[in-house]
Amino acid sequence: MNTEKTDRIPSEGSAKKANGLALLPIVVFLFLYLGSGVYYEYVHPVKGQMGFYIMSVVVAFSIALTVAFAQNRALSFDQKIHVCAQGIGDDNITIMLFIFLAAGAFGGIAQQAGGASSTANLLLSIVPGKFAIPGLFVIASLISMAMGTSVGTITILVPIAAQAAANGGLSLPLCVGTVVGGAMFGDNLSFISDTTIAATKTQGVLMKDKFRTNFRIAFPAALVTLIILFILALRGGSAAMGSYSYDLIQAIPYFIVLVLALLGINVFIVLGIGILLFVLAGAATGMLDYVSAFTSMGSGTSGMFETMIVTILVASIGSLIKENGGFEAILQFIEHHFSGKRGGMLGISLLTALMDIATANNTVAIVMAAPIAKDISLDYQIEPKKTASLLDTCSCIMQGVIPYGAQLLIASSLAGISSMQIMPFLFYPYLLACSVLISILRAE
Element (H, E) at 113: none
Find the range with the poorest average confidence among 70-74, 169-173, 216-220, 234-238. Answer: 234-238
Domain span at 275:
93-302
pLDDT tier for residue 2 given thresholds of 50, 70 and 90:
very low
**Is 176 part of any domain?**
yes
In a domain, 98, yes or no: yes
* Mean pLDDT, rounded, for 163-186: 86
Confirm whether 350 is domain-assigned.
no
pLDDT tens figures, 345-395? 999 999 898 888 766 678 878 988 888 899 889 888 999 999 999 999 999
Domain contains 377: no
What is the band of 63 on the pLDDT scale with cuts at 50, 70, 90?
A: very high
Smallest CA-to-CA distance from 355 within 410, 408, 310 is with: 310
Domain membership of residue 265 (yes or no) is yes
Stated as kind and residue range, the H or E segment containing 71 is: none
Lowest mean pLDDT among 234-238, 283-287, 395-399: 234-238
Residue 111 is assigned to a structural domain of this protein: yes
Q: Cα–Cα distance between 311 and 114 in angstroms, integer?
A: 30
Please report which helix (H) or strand (E) contains residue 94, including its range: helix 91-112
pLDDT bin (cut points 50, 70, 90) of residue 71 is: very high
pLDDT at 192: 78
Residue 243 has pLDDT above 70, yes or no: no
State the total domains in the chain.
1
pLDDT band at 8; cut points 50, 70, 90: very low
153: left (phi over 0), alpha (psi -120 to 50) or beta: alpha
Q: Assess if residue 198 is contained within a domain.
A: yes
CA distance 362 to 355: 8
User: What is the pTM assigned to this prediction?
Assistant: 0.72
7 is a domain residue: no
Q: pLDDT tens digit string along 94-147?
A: 877 887 788 788 888 988 998 877 877 776 677 776 788 898 899 889 888 877
